[in-house]
Amino acid sequence: MNTPSNDRRTAHDSMGEMEVPADALYGASTQRAVLNFPISGTGLPPRLIHAFGLIKKAAAETNAELGLLDPALAASIAEAAGEIAAGQHDAQFPVDVYQTGSGTSTNMNVNEVIAGRCDQLAVAVHPNDHVNLGQSSNDTFPAAIHVAAAQEIRNRLVPALESLAVALEAKSRAFHGVLKIGRTHLMDATPVSLGQEFGGWARQVRLAVTRAWKAVDALAELPLGGTAVGSGLNTHPDFAGKAIARLAEATGIPFREAENHFEAQSAKDACVEAHGQLATIAVSLHKIACDVRLLASGPRCGLGEIRLPATQPGSSIMPGKVNPVMAESVTMVAARVAGNQTTLAWCGVGGFLELNVSMPLLAACLLESISLLGNVAAAFGERCVAGIQADEKRCNELIELSLSMVTALAPRIGYDRAAAIAKESVASGRTVREICESRLDELGLRAAELAGLLDAARMSGAGG
């Protein structure tokens, strides 16, 4: 125990006395957790704490409505909890991510901060008897995960993805008539339009928005009301429905009571499912970012079909070098989300009998992935996609150089003769068009027919 001094005060809990910082709103239970878990130096995400504030506010108001809590106490708790939800007391939550697996330390941290704030408001409130009335860490912590994650997806991730989709769709329209060579296996294939490529990416992001909303739906069931093991011991039978209705009204998200509280508390399958959607979104963004930097590679010794906006110098030693840094940030976020997917799945299997005991880490991974994906999608759209330009001259040059142009001739002259022309193109350095123009009679083609067959716009389906 620390020696009492002017900057410390004595707090009490069921285990006895504990010295805590004099200016701390929290009490003995929180301080014990701070001392017990000096693991990472990283607390839980503020959004989780804010969600806890919403839950405690809804709980106090519901308990008052049910006649279980004095209205004056409930009002004070609701006021303090509302302040937590608004982020006014973020510095009062020092408990490490790597703590008790149920998140009890954080639940008690919230309870104590509310009680401490009520004390400042001249209302005597007990953190367990009043703030935690009708609740348990085992149902409030997972409920807070769901509330925080669903809000973050709706408020941060979905708008960022929609903005990125709009930017890609605008480029798809702008580049509709820019013809270029397609590539499969990273090798030349038949022509496409640059607009078609951007349209494919835009569709990926639109599907990512759909997947994000599926994640919200997976999180919409809340375990609140199950208390310790899912049986609802020590809570009013109407508590869960009324408190969750308040949460739905406060957030605008259609939260609902878990159909089976034993499932909702013992398993974290909904969170694993939600993060699975996030992992898919990360894969989509990674694919788009890699394609963008491939098409922009060079600018003179690579593909060079598009030009990216220059956002910063690319090298400390090579003057004038500009790198695809925005695309690289996307790929690193995708790597982090992939790691979080593995960690979160491992946390998901950390359910033993009636309780999952890996919830704090699960919460941290889930909320980090949402935040990273939302931030990087917004930055990539604004600082990269919006400024992309097409190099039409380069695109046209590469179309003519491609051996795959011969594909359009195969139905007319046969696969083997077409293959022979492709091989001759490689050996001679002449284009497919040049070889065919020199052998019109041998191939049985007219000049106009050859031009039509080798029309890149027709081949791409983008129109001529």
Express each pLDDT in 362-376 by its tens digit: 999 999 999 999 999
Q: Which residue has the higher pLDDT, 463 or 299?
A: 299
CATH among 1.10.40.30, 3.40.50.2300, 1.20.120.80, 3.60.40.10 for 402-460: 1.10.40.30
Helix (H) or strand (E) holding 182, with range, is: strand 179-184
The predicted pLDDT at position 318 comes to 87
155-221+259-390 CATH:
1.20.200.10
Domain ranges of the chain: 18-133, 155-221+259-390, 402-460
- Rounded to whole angstroms, the Cα distance separating 267 from 258 reads 12
How far apart (Å, rounded) are the C-alpha atoms in residues 216 and 302? 42
CB 285 within 8 A of CB 380: yes
Residues with Cβ within 8 Å of residue 427, at least 6 apart in sequence: none
- DSSP 3-state assignment of 11? strand
Distance of alpha carbon 289 from alpha carbon 294, whole angstroms: 9
**Percent of the chain whose pLDDT exceeds 90:** 94
Higher pLDDT, 267 or 2: 267
Across the strands, what pairs with 20?
9
End-to-end CA distance of the chain: 81
CATH 3.90.1200.10 at 18-133, yes or no: no
Mean pLDDT score across all residues of the chain: 96
Q: Residue 291 — φ and ψ, nearest 5°?
A: -60, -45
CA-to-CA distance for 258 and 73, rounded, in angstroms? 28
- DSSP-based three-state secondary structure for 399: helix
User: CA–CA separation, 430 vs 273, rounded Å?
Assistant: 54
Q: What is the pLDDT of residue 176?
A: 96
Q: Which of 5, 14, 185, 316 is catalytic?
A: 185
What is the percent of the chain where pLDDT is above 70?
A: 98
For residue range 93-141, what is the model confidence (pLDDT) as tens digits? Answer: 999 999 999 999 999 999 999 999 999 999 999 999 999 999 999 999 9
Let me know: does 45 contact 363? Beta carbons within 8 Å.
yes
pLDDT band at 24 (very low <50, low <70, confident <90, very high): very high
Question: Of 113, 115, 109, nearest to 140 (Cα)?
Answer: 109
Active site residue 185: yes
Mean pLDDT (whole number) for 248-257: 98
Pairing of strands 179-184, 187-193: antiparallel
Catalytic-role residue among 40, 315, 428, 438: 315
Over range 402-411, report the average pLDDT: 93
Torsion angle of C-alpha atoms 317, 323, 326, 327, degrees rounded to 10: -130
Give me the helix-helix angle, 137-152 and 359-383, nearest 10°.
Answer: 10
DSSP assigned state of 223:
-
188: left (phi over 0), alpha (psi -120 to 50) or beta: beta
pTM of the model: 0.94
Q: Which residue has the tokens 């034993």?
A: 262
Tokens of 206: 């639109």
Is 404 a known active-site residue? no
Q: Do domains 155-221+259-390 and 402-460 have the same CATH topology?
A: no
- How many Cα atoms sit within 13 Å of 237 on the Cβ side? 0
Does the pLDDT at position 322 exceed 90?
Answer: no
pLDDT exceeds cutoff 90 at 316: no
